[in-house]
């Protein structure tokens, strides 16, 4: 079954992935099993894992928690929100027995390492999980852009987009259209020209230019992160 072989991956988790059913905040009962799965994957498979975590469960600047606020200020708040998620995830991963480093794109030395590309790669080579926090450090971007940028920088073999409430990419919204068709495979151009909801256009273009495959799959089924990382053909692959 294993048609894709990934040695180093970026796992993109939205902030929502750490929240409970209410979609807000950090729920330890959600984070713990998630961390256990990622830790086991790291220890058992030897796949190098870097995680980009979002912040939408705490604050979303880009699409506006903050109507009327200065856009850049709201975005900086969003980036800081991702750091809180990263620390929660680090704590849970270390409880699950795997060494973890958080690197932030906005310096906060007392809390985490600054993002240093070569150092991140070294951590990965040593089997540590690296969590990239504070997005790209720039307003007007998203954590999807961060995933694409970091994947290019560390030469990841793929970005795994673990989704809540979606098991792949469809031609229309399966929640409103019962006849929506799921794609097994797409090209970057399909995603851009059809405006399919995989990641934003900036991120998709970055992946296209750097030949980074994107696997979109559901994280609502336990074990799916492991399946996607081991190359099982689940969800939708964009390449
Ligand atoms: N953000 C930003 N620049 C970045 C990454 C994130 O300004 O490089 C801000 C942006 O306001 C975004 C928020 O951080 O809305 C949280 O990230 P995102 O919405 O991507 O998180 P997710 O939807 O994955 O939880």
pLDDT score for 63: 63
Is the pLDDT higher at 65 or at 110? 110
Helix/strand/coil (H, E, C) string of the chain? CCCCCCCEEEEEECHHHHCCCCCCCCCHHHHHHHHHHHHHHHHHHCCEEEEEECCCCCCCCCCCCCCCCCHHHHHHHHHHHHHHHHHHHHHHHHHCCCCEEEEECCCCCCCCEECCHHHHHHHHHCCCEEEEECCCCCCCCCHHHHHHHHHHHHCCCEEEEEECCCCCEECCCCCCCCCCCEECEECHHHHHHCCCCCCCHHHHHHHHHCCCCEEEEECCCCCHHHHHHCCCCCCEEEC
Q: Where do the structural domains in the chain lie, given as residue ranges?
A: 8-238
Q: What is the pTM of this model?
A: 0.96
Fold of 8-238: Carbamate kinase (3.40.1160)
Mean pLDDT, rounded, for 40-51: 97
Res 100 pLDDT > 70 = yes
pLDDT in tens, 118-167: 999 999 999 999 999 999 999 999 999 999 999 999 999 999 999 998 99
Query: Is residue 12 within 6 Å of ligand 1 at its C-beta?
Result: no
Query: Is residue 236 within 6 Å of ligand 1 at its C-beta?
Result: no
Q: How far is the CA of 179 from the centre of ligand 1 (A)?
A: 32
């Amino acid at each position: 079954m294993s048609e894709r072989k990934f040695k180093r991956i970026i796992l993109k988790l939205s902030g929502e992935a750490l929240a409970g059913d209410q979609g807000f905040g950090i729920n330890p009962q959600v984070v713990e099993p998630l961390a256990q799965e990622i830790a086991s994957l790291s220890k058992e498979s030897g796949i190098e894992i870097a995680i980009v975590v979002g912040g939408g469960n705490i604050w979303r600047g880009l699409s506006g928690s903050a109507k009327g606020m200065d856009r850049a200020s709201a975005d900086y708040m969003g980036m800081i929100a991702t750091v809180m998620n990263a620390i929660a995830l680090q704590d849970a991963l270390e409880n699950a027995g795997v060494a973890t480093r958080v690197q932030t794109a906005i310096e906060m030395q007392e809390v985490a390492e600054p993002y240093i590309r070569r150092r991140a790669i070294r951590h990965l080579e040593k089997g540590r999980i690296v969590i990239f926090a504070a997005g790209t450090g720039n307003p007007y971007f998203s954590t999807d852009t961060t995933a694409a940028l970091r994947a290019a920088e560390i030469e990841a073999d793929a970005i795994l987009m673990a989704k809540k409430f979606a098991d792949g990419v469809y031609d229309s919204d399966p929640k409103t259209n019962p006849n929506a068709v799921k794609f097994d495979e797409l090209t970057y151009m399909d995603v851009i020209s059809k405006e399919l909801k995989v990641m934003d256009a900036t991120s998709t273009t970055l992946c296209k230019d750097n030949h980074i495959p994107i696997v979109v799959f559901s994280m609502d089924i336990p074990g799916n992160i492991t399946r996607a990382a081991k190359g099982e053909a689940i969800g939708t692959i964009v390449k």
